[in-house]
Structure 1
Amino acid sequence: MRWVVWLLLLFVVAVLAAGTLGNNSGVVSVYWPPYRLDLSLNLFVLLLLAVGLAAHAITAAVSRLIGLPARAREWRGQQRERAAQAALREALGLQLAGRYSRANKAAQRALEIRSVTPELARDAEFGALAHLLAASSLHRLQDRARRDEQLAEAQALVAAQASGSAVGEAAHLMAAEWAVDDRDAHRALEQLQGLPAGVARRTQALRVRLQAHRLARQPLEALKTARLLAKHQGFAPAAAQGLLRSLAVEALDTARDADQLRRVWLQLDAADRRDAYVTARAALRAAALDAPAEARGWLRPHWEQLTQLGERERQAVLEAFVAVLPGLPADWLPLLEEAVSKLPQDPQLAYAAGRAMAERQLWGRARRLLDAATSLPGAEPGLRRDAWRSLAAIAEAEGNTELAQRCYSSAARIA
């Protein structure tokens, strides 16, 4: 189709030329004393066009000849740029394949080519990427000194660029990850501080921050970070609950006196304070720091919902309640009776209620509940042994030495 169009255009030109030049009787005279040259106007026009075309061809040829060195330099620059890009891709592929020594050499080759290529020398991101690949390979090779040199050069290249560069963010994030691997929490947190606010809330940055806070033994900060990760679905729900619990317990264990424990408790998130397991651990810590009254106040909301707790949470609450029995007030007795009536087959609850009755010197009720704890199905050996010992203590308080001996004997027979 294209040739048909060209043929039609040629016919049109031929027709126009024939119509215009066919009847042209003009003459062009050229005087060059003592000579005179007469040419038809048609021939003169054709010669003029031919001279113009020849002059254009000669000018283009001379221009191409003069520009040949520049074109050669441009071609060599393109070849070097392609070689540098190939070396960078090779470094990335080798690093992903686990061949870290060769990956470092390929990245260094890309940097060498960049140093002699003006176009690449002005590309800061290319150089930063090559330095980061080399640093990552050296980190895998445990060559920390050379790794830090490469990282510093990469950060220096991206520091002059506008904020928001993905390569700059990668440099800070990778530096923080390597600092965590080196067990240097302070340096990791410094690198994370260099990230923009939006980048710092990304999942990977939060993971590194969580590791750094745990490494720095800052459980409260780690707990806040873990809660953000759980909100962003950085963990499975079960894993998130376990991690949040462990961090809250770790924060509570850092308290060295009752006042410090109270401050840590108030700094916990409301969701953590509603967790029965965390509250039970806080109560145990308070009991160890001689603050049972406050611990009972923390446990009371969970005790009122004892039947709604899971087995593990209920056991934790009951164990903590036994630890904070000294000084138990009388207003707890209705709660104990109600709980026992709702869960009559729970040996752990029977033991805790029996110990509470013994604390209030209600020996008859205490003996009935502790006897149930020794005989209910599902009672663990350790629980039954403690129940027999509590019965022996009650018998001693009542002056019944023979009964106390029988109770001690029963406790000793339990494996």
Structure 2
Amino acid sequence: MPPKEAWTLHALGWFGDDDTVRALAPVIRSWPGEGAHHRAVEGLDVLAAVGTDSALLHLHGISQRVRFKALRQRAQEKIAEVAEGLGLTGEQLADRLVPDLGLDADGSTVVDYGTRLFSVGFDEALEPYVRDAEGRRLKDLPKPGARDETELATAERKRYLALKKEVRALAADQVRRLEAAMVDGRSWTGAEFRQLFVEHPLVRHLARRLVWSVARDGAATAFRIAEGRGCVDARGALVTVDDDATVTLPHPLRFPGRTDVWSELLADHEIVQPFPQLRRQVHAATEREAAGARLTRFEGVTVPVGRLLGLQKRGWERGIPQDAGVERWFHRRLGPECHLVVQLEPGIAVGMLDEFPDQTLDTVWLDTHPGDHRPSRARPLRFADLDPVTVSELLTDLTELTARN
């Protein structure tokens, strides 16, 4: 597409629909790697112009998870513009954009072959599974047979395959959003909690596998969502969640009660969590580390570059390429003027990851901004001033990164 023909791309924003969005979104994600960053940015404008819930959800997904930093930042700006127009934050908007995919109120759907019926449910990772009319779990939805109503069964199987594809595109982001909400300490009103989690046909499959907390008049109570959509505590007693109550998804360090009791309870009910909550690793800085800005215990450790890049899924970012196109640091943004910076040696060669397959964590420290320099000057930041959950999550990331196989 020559630049002078860019109108053809923008026309998708005028006439496109959700099918257009599903085809366009993965292409936008790949364009920067093909030397078409500007075209990718125009693609973000197209998603915003289509404006459907699906389009905005894909736009938000790009703003959170795409390996090209410039495109991700532009998508964040775009989603912030849309959210501001609605009086919401970007995450609040994302909460409201998750499609119900035509599922029934209980979060399932029935596939009708005319002579046979199958029910579709979802596991802890939102992976669909199928049961036959007798309740037996099948490996997958069978193909229509000779005794089925051909036209109906063919259409129903096509609908099921489309559902699987849509859920696959949504699942990882939904799990990630809930885990991030737990770490960040996000909260919802009781009314929002019911609308966005308890009553949502798709998200409820994740929500009912987690333990929540409701606060009212200074007291917090842990609870889970029962099968009948009611909320119950660890003893099975009904928990009232008023519309104006504050609901959170507590991290173990903020948990109101004993996580081991809840772990046993969920195990008894054969409930698998979508991500580690109750059994999540918890770490703390040493007294010496808390008083300063360095994490020397991780310095000098060499790790494979692939494992290092895996941190990007947890919010870490690659540094700006320096001389010869080498990225010499990795960092995680903790606040407007607070970053955990990891100096790399020899650094990551842009576009040639195999050039330096092993990276040494030369220096690990807190700074007001990431940059290619060493922490030689006095620094006002201390680990003691950070939230304990933030410190625990950082130490978990670095512990897993540097673990010996």
Q: What band does the TM-score fall into relative to the shorter chain? A: under 0.3
Structure holding more helix per residue: 1
Structure holding more strand per residue: 2
Relative contact order, higher structure (CA 8 A, sep 6+): 2
TM-score scaled by length of structure 2:
0.25
TM-score scaled by length of structure 1:
0.24
